[in-house]
Amino acid sequence: MKSKKSFAVGVDLGATNIKTGIVEVNGSISDQISVESKSDKGPPVVIQQIIFSIQEVLGKYKLRDCKGIGIGTPGVVSSTDGTVQHPPNFANWSSVDVTKKIRQSFSVPIYVENDANCAALAESRFGAGIEFKDFLFVIWGTGIGGGIIINRKLYRGPNGGAGEIGHLSIDYDGAACNCGGIGCIESYIGQRYLSQRTKEIFTTLRSGERAIIEKLVDGNLDKIEPVIISKAAELGDPTAISILKEAGTLLGSALASILNVLDLEVVVIGGGISAAPGFVYEAILSSVRSRVLKPHRAGVKVIRASLGNNAGIIGAASLVL
């Protein structure tokens, strides 16, 4: 008899929101909900929130038609015991078995994986990476994360922690990073840094040179963030253009090292800042090309991810589909 199992549930666990969706086998989302994450209340509360969210989204669907549940989470997911370790911005969370309690509520296969890895899988199965067997996926947003797809499969590393490209150092004598390292790429092109650098340069400008950004933030410099910087750049603001170009060049230098090490040629970029204008991609590409070893040079591609905010849910469901 033909199986009627036709969908998976994807859970995108974040420190701000928990997004849960019904994902069809073709990667489309047919229902989804979002709740504010109680990440400050400790693991049992968060896990209960996940269970309630799955119950709610399953609503009119039958559990027996569900192929399984995939959960994408920040932090490292251990290869040995599946525990979620030290997700940033979650209180009282060192190493937690997330699936144990959830298994008691739903009798379907349940998988858990790092969220950047999930997004990489989503782009590989259903998004911008679909035509490439091997590529590096980058999340460019608050921090810099990534996932490595080799032969259409995720490369997790022996401990499940592969793809943490944000902590690749581009300056051995550079800025201190939250991770304790020095000169990590994340400290130069992460959201906070870009916003701060724009603010600093803005305050040194003459009033005539401030017009575009000033108008976009209604005079409130605290509103400067990458979306605003991108908009300002599109409107021709020279400060915004130069900051984004520089960020692209720096990112490209880090990417070239990774491509050289892994023998990869394609980079897919997702995350909030990936919506930046096309010239940023040109800066990344030319920076990668100038640094990557000759055999890779002609084949290098840097492309924008295509699944946007849905990559988390779709990627989590991809663990099942």
Both structure tokens of 45: 């509360």
Q: CB-wise, 115 or 134, nearer to Zn ion?
A: 115
Phi/psi at 318 (5° precision) = -65, -20
Task: Report, in Å, the least distance between residue 187 CB and Zn ion.
Answer: 7
CB of 144 to Zn ion, least distance (A): 9
Q: Is 187 or 230 the residue whose CB approaches Zn ion more closely?
A: 187
Complex with Zn ion: residue 136 or 165, whichever CB lies closer: 165
State which residue, 175 or 205, has the beta carbon closest to Zn ion: 175
Q: How far is the CB of 192 from Zn ion (least distance, A)?
A: 13
**What is the identity of the amino acid at 316?**
A
CB 48 to Zn ion: min, Å:
33
Are 247 and 189 in contact, with CB atoms under 8 Å apart?
yes
How does strand 76-77 pair with strand 84-85?
A: antiparallel
With residue 216 as reference, give the H or E element that holds it: helix 211-216
| CA-based nearest residue to 234, from 277, 274, 172 | 277
The residue among 81 and 173 lying less far from Zn ion, judged by its C-beta, is 173
Site of interaction with Zn ion (CB under 5 A) = 167, 177, 179, 181, 184
- Least distance CB 143 / Zn ion (angstroms): 9
| Least CB distance to Zn ion at residue 78 (A) | 21
Q: 54 or 251: whose CB is closer to Zn ion? A: 251
**Cβ at position 186, least distance to Zn ion in Å:** 6
Query: Is 183:253 a contact under the CB 8 Å cutoff?
Result: no
Output helix, strand, coil percentages for the chain, rounded to the nearest 5. 45, 20, 35
Distances 9 to 47, 168, 174, 244, 259 between C-alpha atoms, Å: 15, 34, 43, 37, 33
- Name the minimum Å distance from CB 168 to Zn ion: 9
Which lies closer to Zn ion via its Cβ, residue 164 or residue 265? 164
Nearest to 110 by CA among 145, 71, 139, 138: 71
| Largest Cα span, the chain | 74
**Strands (DSSP E) along the chain, which ranges?**
7-13, 17-24, 29-36, 66-73, 76-77, 84-85, 95-96, 110-114, 135-140, 144-150, 153-155, 266-270, 301-304
Q: What six digits make up the tokens of 127? A: 């998004």
Residue with smaller CB distance to Zn ion, 143 or 226: 143
